Structure 1
Amino acid sequence: MDVEMKGMGRMTTRWLAERIDLLLGLLAPLGHGQEEEMARICAQEIAAWRARPSITKESTLRNPMTDTRNAIRERLEVTAANRWLNPQTQQYEHLALQYMNFTEEEWIRVMGDTQERFQRRLEEQQLLEQPDVLVQQAEALLHGEPWYELALGLAIATGRRSTEILKTAKLYPKTPSTILFEGQLKKRDLLMKPYEIPTLVEADLVLSAWRRLRALVDCSTLELDEVNNRYGSVVRALANERLRGLIPLRSSKEFVTTHLNRCIYGRLCVFYFAPSHVPDITYMATIYGHYWSAGEEEDVQRNYQSTLHYYDYVIGDGHGQVDRRQGIRLGEPGVEILEIFRPKEPRKEKPMAKKRADDQPTMPTKGHSIVRCTPQTRARFVQEERERGFFKDQNGLLSQLLDESILYRQGVQLLQPATEQLGAESFLQTLQALLEPQREQGRLDAQFKERWGISLAEVDALFQMIHDAGHDNPLKYVQEGVSKQDNLKAGAQKRQDHFRKKDFSQMPYSQLKDVRASAAADERIRRAILAIQKHNHRAQPVDRWYINAAVINGLIKTRFPIINAYLQEHQQDIDTHHQHLGIEPRYNRSKLVPVGDMIQIPDLPDQEPSSLPATTTLQD
């Protein structure tokens, strides 16, 4: 039973990666003459998995088996000495795959889930009390401009993973409230045709936002893990910011994640779109694409175990109770039942026409191919069936191939002038020549991204924003902005160079207070402290001031970080002044008038000696 759940986008654990390396080293030299040894090694490896403390139940064996079989396919070369013809795929595979596998009974246990686990999820379900607000949030995000708002809005509205939205997904129009989705992760074992999913907002808005997102962010050259590492954290942070108050969490330490977005999507779709006769878990498994195959293409079943991972929420009625209604929006204009759940119309029997002697059968007899061909061609035909998703529908595949042949001939005819002009020898060479400018554009984009960390599409979006703001020449606008910044920096440097030669200790205060230089600020602070000290020597104890940053700021309105830095440097002299006159911080609290009404800084520099050194110039 050749069943696997291949983990696209999932990282293999370190312990398993190490065991896979050792296992492949043991299997690589073995072939048909050593099948008994090969079977023993594979059985021993599976037993080692079961002995690990982390493997607590059958379902946890799925990932080790999947990753190991994937590694055998990808890293062990298939030769005449070790190949095996898989009767289900009609493809040659490495002989080790025949032994590194579970039996049918084991796969059923691995793919199953216990009643206790399902019951636990039911008991821990959280109530969504504001479903309409969540939908409104998704719609607002899809009208946004930044890529991360579009990505989060699409995740909520379609229930797809961030990596699917940014890289693998292909979306096609279906109805005003549904789309066709292709490109699901974690499903390489089952060739999935595009399938219909509902959208929580209008389908046209979803498709438009998806196209805008793909124009802003190009992940075509990135691996799946790179997409998640580069963009996933940004989307998760935005989800936690925008949705935290709308989605109940089990603890204050839990965050809103894209997994929770998928959970919410399924539950909202049941509430809005699921027909009452369809169980909610069946509806959710369908729109999540949770299927697994028992080997034959036609034997495709819903994988309810995977769906249980998204069974964490139910709709609340606003009073702490569960609202179990389904399909409340069905019947609204443009809102229809998914095609898979619509009642099937009875097939009409066609009257049998009288058979003539020259009539030829249009369909093959049972057990025979629709066309006569060699075994090699037959194998190619079967492979096409699998890759295109026809599942032994030979007539459908042949019809599609003939349609494509017509399109190919039309393409050759349309490109014939270009072929002659370019001097190309074939249709493909013509296409390559015509596509080369686009490839060059792609190379330039990659180089630009590597050098500056942004794509040409992002630069284009920036220029469009500048143009929309009323600037006809975005490049000139940016250049003028850079030039302005350079001039500001040059002016600041010139002023600093000028002030380095100034003796601020002799400058009148009326001039000093308008000078923007750090040395001038220090001199203003020094004179303020000197004026307070002189006042304290003359005043009665009740009118004396404890010198601190707040008092100085009341006199000269200088920023606190500058005042604090000066005080830290001269704190010892100020403390000596306080101790000499017995001044304490509480003195300031008894004052009824501001310090500026009691103390004035003289305009001319004071000639009397002070414990604080005068500031003259800025020294490097």
Structure 2
Amino acid sequence: MKDHWLKEWGKGKPPSKWVIEIIDDTLSCLEGMTKEEESAIAVLNEELTQKFLKKVKPTSVKNYYTYLHKAVRIHFKDKLTSQNSIYHPTKGISEHFACTLIDTPDDIKAMNLGLQREALDWKQHNVATLEDPELIVNRGRELLEGAIAQYEKEGYSSYAEIGAALALLVGLRPGEILRDAVLIDSSAYTIILSQGQAKTRGKQRSYEMPTLIEADTVLKGYHILRNTFKADKLNDLELESYKNNLRFQVEVNFSEIVPTLSRLNGEKTVNPQRLRAIYDAIAVFYYCPPQVKDFVFIKAINGHEPTPGKADAAMHYLDYQIGDGAIVSAGGQRQGIKLGQPGVKLIERIADKLKKIEQSNEKLADNTHEKALMRFLSHESQATTTEVTQPSITPEVLGLSDDWVKRLQSVMEQTGQTDFKDMVCELVKQEIKFREGMRTRHQGKDFQSMPLSTLKRTRHPEAAAEKMRRAFLAIKYYNSNVATERSQRWYINPNSINKLVGGRFSIISPWCDRHFDEIDSHNQTYELTEGDNRKSVDISEVVQVPEYPTD
């Protein structure tokens, strides 16, 4: 019985001997216990916590409860009854009660969450600068091409050196490089990770990712590594020593040229995780369209999907930014400097989103009365020699509702205007003059640094967009960093944005449509619906949009 669950452990690093002993004892205690025995469950939970704390720090306790839960699922998979199981609403399955009721104590969870937030805040205020990204990329290229040349000449090359190069050039983790990832060709500068991504919670998915050098060189090195280093039969524990060799090569080859990061725990080592963050920063610099936010692009190239209850993982990879010197050398361009070069294409996930936004904007423009009026004005201004009969400007042709016709007729009576067409043309001319003046008046203004109070007084599309963006970020921040449970969080939609910064729904709704992926990702992360906004307080009473941007 004691060995059964361990034999079916599968992927993932197996627990140490002392952990196995604790799990075995716990499984014995759980035999015959029911979910109704609250006191016994609480005592068992406390005893487990104390056993773990004798061996590890509080920050690591949750990892050992994860081991326990996996063992419980294996051990009780064919022994579940109505007395020892609980239905898990998110997963949609029944699990042994120990997977839910025996867990890391709330006080340790709260402490860990506070430490995580402190560490993340430290990271976000201690970003390192890459002044010469080409130097780093070229070091990775030299390392990979040198290993390839050695293999072609001698039939042998260092798996650790190839792995260190791939950690930078394609941003993979050591385990993915050495054993798990399956890479296939996509384009001159992109590949597809078809399977083997780590940290997917059991979900198999593939995604396209850019390479910092030619994809065929990356794939050549990858195939040499896999042909000479056979790790498919190794478990996680056996693979660990080989991963350490890869980490050593990362430090040997990149420590002199990779900027040191300041970390709350004092860590300064250049490791594969740092190279993943550098890969993200350089990939944005090379391939991210200027109109796309860096973290959106990073999520796409790392295959991220929303995970309920988790903060946006992409934020953990924003450790590096491109320095001013590199930006000046690129003609002032901060993103996408290689887009348009031969063989370089935008990854499909981002290209599809941009296409949908463009189609949405075109559809929106086609449906506006302004578009229709401008078409008719264009017809009226054509040379009188044309023999083509243009449609007349009438309320019916323009598609005005009865209410708008009545309002327009009232204005005509007040102004003494009798000709409908002349009235419409005059109104359109005034609107054009107003918009031209507005565009000239606000030309060159930096709306992203403008105070919120000024944005609210400014009639300009970019001012409205910035106002809505800040409202979205304020709700997102509140949900992720202030609220501690679902009942305190707010569903993001046009109505919640309107309550914070005002504005017409005819403007807010299209903005939300254009940013659907970001909004939906956040709402899904916390499993929020419109019903979550039915609270005794208004969102404006608890969520504050700062006067100045904080991002």
* Cα distance in 1, alignment partners of residues 344 and 23 from structure 2: 49
The answer as to 2:33 corresponding to 1:30 is yes
Q: Percent identity?
A: 27
Closer, same or farther in 2 for the Cα pair 1:260/1:237, shift >3 Å? same
Closer, same or farther in 2 for the Cα pair 1:103/1:270, shift >3 Å? farther
* Cα distance in 1, alignment partners of residues 21 and 296 from structure 2: 39
2:206 is matched with: 194
* Cα distance in 1, alignment partners of residues 281 and 340 from structure 2: 19
The answer as to 2:85 corresponding to 1:73 is no
Q: Is this contact kept in 2: 1:291–1:302, CA < 8 A?
A: no
The answer as to 2:255 corresponding to 1:248 is no
One-letter identity of the residue aligned with 1:94: H
One-letter identity of the residue aligned with 1:220: D
1:106-505 counterparts in 2 under 5 A? Answer: 116-143=118-145, 144=148, 145=151, 146=157, 147-184=159-196, 186-229=198-241, 231-249=242-260, 254-294=268-308, 303-304=311-312, 306-318=313-325, 325-342=334-351, 343-345=354-356, 346=359
Aligned-pair CA distance for 1:319? 8.8
* Cα distance in 2, alignment partners of residues 114 and 332 from structure 1: 41
Q: Is this contact kept in 2: 1:49–1:55, CA < 8 A?
A: no
Q: Is this contact kept in 2: 1:83–1:95, CA < 8 A?
A: yes
3-state DSSP class of the match of 2:342?
Answer: coil
1:581-600 counterparts in 2 under 5 A? Answer: none
Aligned-pair CA distance for 1:97? 2.3
Deviations 1:53-105 (A, max 9, x none): 97677xx665344333222223445315445555555555334224236899x
1:459 is matched with: none
Q: Is this contact kept in 1: 2:12–2:235, CA < 8 A?
A: no
3-state DSSP class of the match of 1:293?
Answer: coil
Closer, same or farther in 2 for the Cα pair 1:11/1:200, shift >3 Å? farther
Q: Is this contact kept in 2: 1:20–1:68, CA < 8 A?
A: yes
3-state DSSP class of the match of 2:240?
Answer: helix
Of residues 248-257 and 117-126 in structure 1, the stretch that sits farther from structure 2 once superposed is 248-257
Q: Is this contact kept in 2: 1:127–1:320, CA < 8 A?
A: no
Deviations 1:30-65 (A, max 9, x none): 246x553564356536875998897677xx665344
* Cα distance in 2, alignment partners of residues 234 and 186 from structure 1: 19
3-state DSSP class of the match of 2:346?
Answer: coil
Closer, same or farther in 2 for the Cα pair 1:253/1:150, shift >3 Å? same
1:498-537 counterparts in 2 under 5 A? Answer: none
* Cα distance in 1, alignment partners of residues 109 and 300 from structure 2: 21
Deviations 1:552-593 (A, max 9, x none): xxxxxxxxxxxxxxxxxxxxxxxxxxxxxxxxxxxxxxxxxx
3-state DSSP class of the match of 2:27?
Answer: helix
Deviations 1:111-131 (A, max 9, x none): 798664333113322222221
One-letter identity of the residue aligned with 2:28: G
1:499-578 counterparts in 2 under 5 A? Answer: none
Deviations 1:463-519 (A, max 9, x none): xxxxxxxxxxxxxxxxxxxxxxxxxxxxxxxxxxxxxxxxxxxxxxxxxxxxxxxxx
* Cα distance in 2, alignment partners of residues 87 and 308 from structure 1: 28
* Cα distance in 2, alignment partners of residues 263 and 150 from structure 1: 18
Q: Is this contact kept in 1: 2:127–2:261, CA < 8 A?
A: no
* Cα distance in 1, alignment partners of residues 326 and 90 from structure 2: 54
3-state DSSP class of the match of 1:152?
Answer: helix
Aligned-pair CA distance for 1:254? 4.4
TM-score (norm 2): 0.51
* Cα distance in 2, alignment partners of residues 52 and 79 from structure 1: 31
* Cα distance in 2, alignment partners of residues 28 and 158 from structure 1: 47
Q: Is this contact kept in 2: 1:175–1:334, CA < 8 A?
A: yes
Deviations 1:290-332 (A, max 9, x none): 44533xxxxxx9842x444433322223499998812211222
Q: Is this contact kept in 2: 1:156–1:261, CA < 8 A?
A: yes
Q: Is this contact kept in 1: 2:52–2:64, CA < 8 A?
A: no
Q: Is this contact kept in 1: 2:327–2:334, CA < 8 A?
A: no
3-state DSSP class of the match of 2:317?
Answer: coil
C-alpha RMSD of matched pairs (Å)? 4.4
Closer, same or farther in 2 for the Cα pair 1:221/1:116, shift >3 Å? closer
The answer as to 2:105 corresponding to 1:96 is no
Deviations 1:357-386 (A, max 9, x none): xxxxxxxxxxxxxxxxxxxxxxxxxxxxxx
Closer, same or farther in 2 for the Cα pair 1:148/1:98, shift >3 Å? closer
* Cα distance in 1, alignment partners of residues 267 and 101 from structure 2: 44
Aligned-pair CA distance for 1:27? 1.5
* Cα distance in 1, alignment partners of residues 194 and 327 from structure 2: 38
Q: Is this contact kept in 2: 1:190–1:293, CA < 8 A?
A: no
* Cα distance in 1, alignment partners of residues 30 and 297 from structure 2: 43
Of residues 335-344 and 313-322 in structure 1, the stretch that sits farther from structure 2 once superposed is 313-322
Closer, same or farther in 2 for the Cα pair 1:8/1:265, shift >3 Å? farther
Q: Is this contact kept in 2: 1:8–1:185, CA < 8 A?
A: no
Aligned-pair CA distance for 1:173? 2.3
* Cα distance in 2, alignment partners of residues 99 and 119 from structure 1: 31
- Unaligned runs of 5+ residues in structure 2 are 1-8, 152-156, 364-551
* Cα distance in 1, alignment partners of residues 85 and 139 from structure 2: 54
Deviations 1:117-175 (A, max 9, x none): 33311332222222112222222333223133322222211111121111111112223
3-state DSSP class of the match of 2:324?
Answer: coil
One-letter identity of the residue aligned with 1:195: Y
Closer, same or farther in 2 for the Cα pair 1:102/1:238, shift >3 Å? closer
* Cα distance in 2, alignment partners of residues 218 and 160 from structure 1: 18
3-state DSSP class of the match of 1:93?
Answer: strand
Aligned-pair CA distance for 1:263? 1.9
Q: Is this contact kept in 2: 1:273–1:337, CA < 8 A?
A: yes
3-state DSSP class of the match of 1:193?
Answer: coil
Q: Is this contact kept in 2: 1:7–1:66, CA < 8 A?
A: no
Closer, same or farther in 2 for the Cα pair 1:302/1:44, shift >3 Å? closer
- Higher Cα Rg, which structure: 1
- Unaligned runs of 5+ residues in structure 1 are 1-5, 295-300, 350-620
Closer, same or farther in 2 for the Cα pair 1:12/1:245, shift >3 Å? same
Closer, same or farther in 2 for the Cα pair 1:197/1:317, shift >3 Å? same
Closer, same or farther in 2 for the Cα pair 1:246/1:151, shift >3 Å? same
One-letter identity of the residue aligned with 1:260: R
3-state DSSP class of the match of 2:289?
Answer: coil
Closer, same or farther in 2 for the Cα pair 1:69/1:80, shift >3 Å? closer
TM-score (norm 1): 0.45
Q: Is this contact kept in 2: 1:155–1:161, CA < 8 A?
A: yes
Of residues 212-221 and 16-25 in structure 1, the stretch that sits farther from structure 2 once superposed is 16-25
